[in-house]
Structure formats: C-alpha cells, structure tokens
A and B are shown apart, each in its own frame.
Chain A
Amino acid sequence: MQLEIRGLTKRFGTFTANDHIDLTIEPGEIHCLLGENGAGKSTLMNMLYGLLDPDEGQVLLDGKPAKFATPGDAIEAGIGMVHQHFMLVPVFTVAENIMLGREQTRGLGVLNRASAAALVRELSDKYKLAVDPASLVQDLPVGVQQRVEILKALANNAEVLILDEPTAVLTPQEIDELMSIMDSLRNNGTSIVFITHKLREVKAIGDKITVIRRGKVVGTTEPTASEPDLAEMMVGRGVKLVVDKDEPEVGDVALDVKNLTVIGTRGTTVVRNVSFDVRAGEILGIAGVQGNGQTELVKALLGLVRPASGQIQLEGRTISRHGPRQVLEEGIGYIPEDRSHDGFVSSFSVRENLVLDLYKHDEFSRGLALNQQAMTTNAQQRIEEFDIRTQSMNSSVSALSGGNQQKVVVARELSRRLKVLIASQPTRGVDVGSIEFIHQRIVAERDKGTAVVIVSTELDEIFALSDRIAVMYDGRIVDIVSPDILRDEIGLLMAGGDAKGAAAPEERSGSGATAAGTAGFDEETAKNA
C-alpha cells in the first residue's frame, strides 16, 4: 500500500506544529522520519493515525483520499502504530491488551479468553516475539512491553506500521533484533515509518530519510548521507556531537554506596547488593536499559525510599536513613528522571519552581514568611544565567517547552553549593540546544569539584559525559568500566551478558530465529491475499 501525505498542517493555538508536510511512503519501504524532540514527528503520526484532526491537507492511500476521524478508521485502513508511550493497559494481561478493541467473543459479548491467548501464541510464534499471554503487562520489562505493542499492531494486519521512537527503551542488541524484525516485515511488503532522532539507526535500516525541523520538512535524503550532514539538517546548524571536556581532576570519595539493596513496592528486590563510589570532580555514568533498578537506586540515594540494607555515605558520614530534606541539606542535588512528575509543580510559576527545595533557606524565608523579594531576585538571576525562555518569571512552568522546563530544574539544583549531583535522564525529551547547554553545565559542575552521577538510558549521553561507566542490569551493577569501552561490549553488559562475549551466541540464535520466522509470515500473507 502506498501512503501519501499532502500538505498536512496542524496548529495548536498560535503554534504551528506541522506546516504543510508532504511525504510519500512506498510499499515495502522503511521510511525514516528524523527530527529532534519537539520537531513535530509525533504530531504528524498522530494525525495519520486519527488521533488528531489535521487543520489542512489530506492523506492518500494508493492514490485515493482517505479520512481518519478516529484510530478505528486508521486501523481499518491497515495502519498500525507502535506508540512511543506504550498504549497498553498496565493492569490487563498481554492477551487482554492485544484483544482490546477486536475482542473474540463466545456470543452475547462474553469474552473468549482462550482463543485470544491462542491468537497471541500464534502471532508470537510467527514473528518470534516471545510473550506470555497470561502475564500482566505491568509486570513485564519495557522491552517485552514493546513486543506486546508490536504484536498488537500486527494482529490488526497492518500494512503500514508506524514505529514512534521504538528504540529508546532497548539495549543495543534488542535494537539489532528490532531492526531484523523490521527488515523481515519490509520483505513481506509492509511499509514502515520509523520515527527517531538517532542518526545511527536511520543509517542502519532506512531506505529513505525525511528530516523534519520545527514542523516543516527540510528535506528527503538517502541513508548514505553522513551523520554530521544529517545532524545539521535536523538541528539547522552545525552540531558538536561530542561534549568538550578535559581530563577530570579527581578528589576524595564523595559518595560511597556499599551493598545497597532496595525492595520495590511489589515486594520484589529491585536493587541488589549494589556498591560503588564517586569521587569529587568526576562523572560516574550509570548505563542500563530502563527498568533495571536505576530509578529505585536513585530514589534510595535521595532518601525517597528506605533501603532494605546497605550503607550510603556522603564524605564519610552515613546518610542511609536520611529523608529527602536531610539529603538535600547535606549537599546533594537531584535532577529527577521525570521532571513533570517529580521535578516541578506545573501549576507553579517559574519563580516558585526555582525555589521548590530552597524556600526554607534563610535567604528565602524568615520564620513562616516567604521573602518575596529574594525569590524575585533569584528568579531574575537564574532565568538570565540559564537562558530560560519564558514570557515572565510568573508564568506557570506548564507553559514552557520541555527544554526550558528542564533548565528550570537544572538551574534550581545548581544554584547552591553541591557535594554530589545526581542527574537522572537529564536531557530526556529536550531539544538539542538545551541538551548541549545542560551537558556543558554538568561538566562545569564537575570541574568545580562536585561528584556527579548521571543515570541515562541513552548510551550517547553516557559516553559523552562519563569518566567511568557503571552498567546496571536486573538490579545489579554488572561492571564498572572506562568510557573507552566498545559500544557492543557495553551493550552486552546492559543485557546482563559479560563483556567478553558469553551472551553473544544466544543473540546470534535470536536473529537467526527471526529470519526463520519470515517464512511463516510469507505463508500467512499469502493466505490472506
């Protein structure tokens, strides 16, 4: 099926998210949509999938105009979408999630769970995407959740499959695997729209690349284009792909974690016997696929959850039993992974958010009374210093772009003298300009002699910033390595393997099996046709 987009436009108030976008996706083509965060890729795809109504323009399927008022229409027309934020109901089982919307029933609307489970098994055999139909989605690791999401789209016999930032939650090996799945789908005539902001992936799998910047198509190119060229197209200017930093001047141990174990809300052990230390003036990167205990480790460091056992020491003093306030007072700064969830109060003004954890300091309050003047002065300084783009210090943070919201958090945390800075996903969902800025500030903080811990699922970020890299898998720190390790080796560590190659054979057999699955897919499509 050929999919053509003509002049699609979407405005939100005065902001034009998509400005007359033209795009043609040929059958059996992997068409990459490249653009940085906020460029309008997801908006475009949401219009294509019937989630948003376009203000202008039209969609053509095999040359005939089509209108998708609802996702139901899009599914009907053979469009499937794997969403960046999985569209799975966490408390449902895999089978329930896959059957939702196209339920098998025994008549009278009574669910036929057995046949739903059978369908899941059949699909997962066919595409070699192993899932257990009976397990609850919320208990599955994100990688498996993504398989469920892909199966869901395939169950609807999608001819055009949209993959929205599918690699963000995967290990490098899982990404390879995903690519081989995409490859086999392509060979069967399924067109794939692959949305990403990662240049490497685009070059590895794409047949055609369309770059979007600020809601406009800036150009279509071939995967042979060089990475710096692609980056420049994407951002609109030359981008430094590496962060400038000198050799660290390492001091004494600032943060020392010994045998830390944390038990999660569901009673399972999520951090297992973790030990590491960070010295003043160095950056320790914690790499790992999302959901391997990093979140809980950081929460324990901050005193947000009480560790079941183990010790946390800050410059020799034990802080394992401190609450968050005491931890912050001890001189630990914290940039949380989900800023809108934990980092700021979205209805509060920029000015208020800039003192969210500082308002009790003498500078900002006397007794019960807040010092309004000091808060205002502080806000003026930070907005200036961190180049926070906001209409005024009194506008609420929810009105800011992701990058500027993150700058508010970073500005607040760096505005006091720190011994340790813990930054989780410091640049997630942030535009390239802000990424560069935030990275520079973090390195500058290191150079001031602060010990820095960066937790990131983005290997690029880990490599760009870290002086040492700790890899987490299944709640453990598998290894602590130097940043000159090969990307593949760290990928194996992230998958729980050992860098010397123990897990490699299994991976091979995995991709082999996928190739075998292609034959089955052939038969199936033949039958359907």
Chain B
Amino acid sequence: MSTVTSLRTPDATDTVRDPAEMQRRVKLTVTLLLVSAIIFYFWWTIDDEQVFYLLSGERTRDTVPGEISTHPVTLTCGIVVLVAAVAAALGLMRHGATTLISMLVVGLAFLLCFVVWAYSDLDVAFKPWITNPLPGTFAVATPLVLGALAGCLCERAGVINVAIEGQFLAGAFFASVVASLTYSAGAGLLGGIIAGIGISAMLALFSIRYLVNQVVLGVVLVVFAQGLTNFLLDQIPNDATIKAYLNEPPKLQDIAIPGLSDIPLIGEAMFDQTILVYLMYAAVVFVTFVMFETRWGLRVRAVGEHPKAADTVGIKVRRIRWQAVLLAGVFAGLGGAYYTVGSTGSFDKNASSGNGFIALAAVIMGRWHPLWATFAALFFGLMSSLRNQLSLVDKIPSELLTMTPYLATVVAVAGFVGRVRPPAADGEPYVKS
C-alpha cells in the first residue's frame, strides 16, 4: 500500500508555470506600482518641509511636537514600495510570511505618506498636528472584535450569524437599562451579556430546532432587535425621574494598568482603557485557545465542518451547536454593551449604527479565524480612527472621508482576501437522515 503514499507531492522537476500564479503576480505588481506612483505624487506635490506629530498627551502651548521631514520620508516610502513591486514582478512574492510582512510594510508606508500629505500645505493659521490614531482604533475596534468573535464561534459550529447587529442592539439597550436600575456599570455588562444570549437563543432555536435558513434568520433577528429596542425606548416615558432609572446608566471608568500604560505609542491606546477593553483582549485569547486547543473546540470545528462525521463518533451535534451559539451571545452582548455603558452612556435608537454588520464582514475577511478576524476588526478601527482625525483637517471633505473605512474594506476584500472558504457545513442545519 505504501506505493500510493507519494501521491500529490509536488514534483521537483515541474517547470510548468501555473497560470493562476502568473495572474496573481501581474496583479500584485500593478497594484504595487500604482501605490508607489501615488506616493511619488505625494512627494512631488508636498511643499511643506515638515509636518508635526504628537503621539501622546494633550496639545498645550508648551508641548514640543515631533517633526517629520516630508520629502525624505515620502521618497523613502516610495522607493520601498517600488522595490516591493520589482520583487513581485520577479516572482519573489509568493504566499508566505515574508510576503505578508512586506505587504504590511507597504500598507503602513502608504498610510504614513497619505497622512503626511493630508497634514501638509494646509492653508490655515493654526496648523493641526498628526496625532496617534491607535486610541481611536481600539475604541472603534473593541465592540467589533467582540462581535467578530461571536461570529467566529457560531459559524465555526456551522450556524451562520448575521444577527450580530441584533445582539449588539439588544446588548446595548439592556446594558443601559440594567446599569441604570442598579446604578452599576458592571451590572450593565451583565445585562448586555444576558440580552446577547437571549438573541443567541432565538438564533439557535430557529436555526437548530426549526431549520430556518440562517441568513434569513439573522436579518430578521436584526430587524426584531431594532424594533424591540426602539419600541421599548419609545415606551420609556419622557419623564426625567423615570428615565434616570431606565436609561441613564453610569459609564465604565478607564483603568490604567501601571507600567504597561506608559509604553510609548501603544500604552495609552491599549492599557488605559475600561474593563470592557481588557475583557476583549481576554476574549480573543480565550476563544482562540478554546477553539484550537480544547476538546470542546475540536468538537465545535468538527460539527461545523462535517456534522455527520461528528455524529458517527458519538458527538451530539445539536447540543454542541447550541453551546457555541449561546457562548457567542456572551461576547456579542458584551460588544453591544460597549455602545452604552462602555462609551456614550444612554441608549439611542440604533446605537450600534450597523457596526454588527462590520463585525460580520470582519469574520469573513478574517476567514473565520478569531485572530485574523480580530486583525480585520482592528484594520477597520484604524481606518475609522484615521478618518475621524483627518476629518478635522481641511484637506479632504469630511463627508467623503466618511466613506474611506468602507471603501478600504471593499478594496481589502476584493484585492487581497478574495474567495474565502467558510466552514464546510456553515449554514446547513443538521438533520439525521
């Protein structure tokens, strides 16, 4: 039997070029050339010799900002990207870690030059400084990451979760109500979790028990959660004393972690945050570990890939799916709580403003892997954060800037992620034949 084991191993003698590989190479080269062209354009058009930046602290009369010399920086970045383009043309950019890192470098170089360009040659008396985008990144990304983790958990178990937005809304509303009633932001988190689990339970009941198409179900649950939270919000009488009990929660306080919060660049962004953000870090580690290193995680992935195989070795497919979906509700509910007790306080209509769908996009962009989905969420957070900062600078109309995170996601998905492979049984209810 050993004669067939060598099957499908690549031949060292194969010299034939894969047409798909060639196509990819051409595409990559063209893209990189385009990027470098844009950077050289920046280099060419910028008149200011330098722009200023401030990575931490408040800007006061006495703060001394850092300086970026515009021309050397843009020129260097342009050359770096050009080199990458040449490398791609020569076929050095294959799949692998080096390629990933070089693409990351190219992306950062582009962003840097873009920011430098946006802050240069401003025709205003009070010149704005470039500030650290990371605090804003984590602010936007925290609920997205939590939502994406919920998405990963459900979908790895074979239940499509389009209802993250619904879980966010329910979580946000009930976090606010519970926190207001108990006057404790921490209890609010618990309220959010329970609401998230509630929507999860509906998702599980209708998809696992009643075999409802899961994409349909997700959309409907979002509408349901929207309607329910709006309805209940409208039913809260417009009376200040009652409102205080129902929709004026205390907010979570920032907790600086001694030592870590002083790290330059990332300290403030990552380690001077609310408990919710720390819970998010823990959740990422927890979900990744549970999914790939534990018995339960192995079973979750098995029922998401091949439920019948799991069934034939005695695993209760439906039970595992229920567990995964309910656990997902915990994270999505926490994510929702961010929109009330974690940031603004009281609940407004559509508090999460469609971010649940962004979290869903992060799940797909991250190829259903909790870590990659986290990075996708952070990517979106970074884009949003830059958008918010640049909208204060008068170079590009802020209404147009609003689009950039969304356009960037489309470009990222169309250009780099492309076709993705979901868990094989994702969205398929399991019915014993």
Contact = CB atoms under 8 A, between A and B. Distances in A.
| Chains A and B touch each other in the complex, with CB atoms below 8 Å apart | yes
Interface of A: 46, 49, 51-52, 70-73, 75-76, 81, 83, 86-92, 96-97, 99-103, 105, 108-111, 130, 139, 141, 143-144, 147, 152, 171, 173-174, 177, 261, 263, 267-270, 272, 289, 291-292, 306, 308-309, 474, 495-497, 503, 506, 510
B313 A101 contact: yes
B20 interface: yes
Contacts of A139: 8
Given A474-B6, A496-B4, 20 more contacts: A46-B433, A70-B311, A70-B316, A76-B314, A91-B305, A97-B309, A100-B299, A100-B313, A101-B313, A103-B298, A147-B1, A261-B14, A263-B20, A268-B8, A269-B14, A308-B16, A308-B17, A474-B8, A506-B2, A506-B3
Interface stretch (B182-190, B289-297, B353-361): B289-297
Interface in B197-211: none
B97 interface: no
28 contacts: A51-B432, A51-B433, A52-B432, A52-B433, A70-B316, A71-B312, A72-B313, A72-B314, A83-B312, A89-B301, A89-B302, A96-B298, A97-B309, A100-B310, A103-B295, A105-B294, A111-B294, A111-B295, A139-B8, A141-B7, A144-B4, A144-B5, A267-B18, A268-B10, A289-B4, A308-B19, A506-B3, A510-B1
Interface centre among B5, B17, B298, B311 (most CB of A within 10 A): B298
Nearest to B299: A100
B315 interface: yes
Contact of B2 (A71, A81, A510): A510
Interface of B: 1-11, 14, 16-21, 293-299, 301-302, 305-306, 308-316, 424, 432-433
B3 A497 contact: yes
A99 B6 CA distance: 25
A184 B3 CA distance: 22
A46 B9 CA distance: 36
A167 B124 CA distance: 80
Contacts of B294: 105, 108-111
A63 B153 CA distance: 45
B11 A143 contact: no
Residue among A88, A101, A177 having the largest count of chain B Cβ atoms under 10 Å? A101
A72 B294 CA distance: 20
Contacts of B315: 72, 100-101
Nearest to A43: B433
Contacts of B293: 110-111
The 7 closest A-B pairs by CB, nearest first: A72-B314, A101-B313, A87-B309, A141-B7, A263-B18, A103-B295, A308-B16
Nearest to B11: A269
Contacts of A506: 2-3
Nearest to A273: B16
B142 to A, nearest CB: 28
B68 to A, nearest CB: 42
A97 B1 CA distance: 21
A111 B4 contact: no
Contacts of A291: 7-8
B349 to A, nearest CB: 40
B2 A130 contact: yes
